[in-house]
A and B are shown apart, each in its own frame.
Chain A
Amino acid sequence: KAGVTQTPRYLIKTRGQQVTLSCSPISGHRSVSWYQQTPGQGLQFLFEYFSETQRNKGNFPGRFSGRQFSNSRSEMNVSTLELGDSALYLCASSPQLSINYGYTFGSGTRLTVV
């Protein structure tokens, strides 16, 4: 059974540009969440989607947005990129509404903003 797939694996963007990251959850998983990992701030929750609805959002500016499609695939978008947006972006999926049984994570997208 395929795991959580994130594309692209690496990305380099220029300050001011926008970027879209993609996540395909494990087949049958309907909950998808996104996390940002940086050396300074560690792992921080971005948002969570279930059945195409955003159920929860972390403390990030409005430049960070996401969506989920009917096949549970999810995208996150960052507009007007800043140097501080350089990070590893991790996607995770869960079969249930809550994550009490733990997520399955992807290998992440490493975003570098120059």
Chain B
Amino acid sequence: AQTVTQSQPEMSVQEAETVTLSCTYDTSENNYYLFWYKQPPSRQMILVIRQEAYKQQNATENRFSVNFQKAAKSFSLKISDSQLGDTAMYFCAFTPYNTDKLIFGTGTRLQVFP
């Protein structure tokens, strides 16, 4: 079975600091995609960053970057210079190549304090 595990139910960070959210996954597939989604209180899931498994280079989007370790099946999200607007639930998700569904982790609730 393909699963995604987020071992940190809650995390907090002070504004302007850096925080890392962990994610591991289990799959026998070789080609797949990994995502981090953010869900603020508005409920809308917002795509934060995307990683293609066949690319060794870690994806970066402004203050957000990932540490992708394919052999270890690990996909952590680093948020630099945290802002109050980063407060949200963060979900790690996985999809095998050319399938049509996301497999989500249970989420990490991130609170950014002033």
Contact = CB atoms under 8 A, between A and B. Distances in A.
A102 B104 contact: no
B106 A42 contact: yes
A51 interface: no
B48 to A, nearest CB: 10
B29 to A, nearest CB: 13
Contacts of B100: 31, 33, 48, 50, 55-56, 97-99
B42 interface: yes
Contacts of B46: 105
A102 B99 contact: no
* Interface residue range, chain B: 20 to 34
Given A90-B45, A100-B33, A43 B50 contact: no
Nearest to A4: B44
Contacts of B47: 102-104
A113 to B, nearest CB: 18
Interface residues of A, number: 28
A99 B44 contact: no
Nearest to B101: A45
Contacts of B104: 42-43
Given A3-B44, A100-B97, 14 more contacts: A33-B100, A35-B102, A42-B104, A43-B102, A45-B101, A55-B100, A98-B99, A99-B99, A101-B50, A102-B50, A103-B47, A105-B45, A108-B43, A110-B43
Interface of A: 3, 31, 33, 35, 42-43, 45, 48, 50, 55-56, 58, 88, 90, 92, 97-108, 110
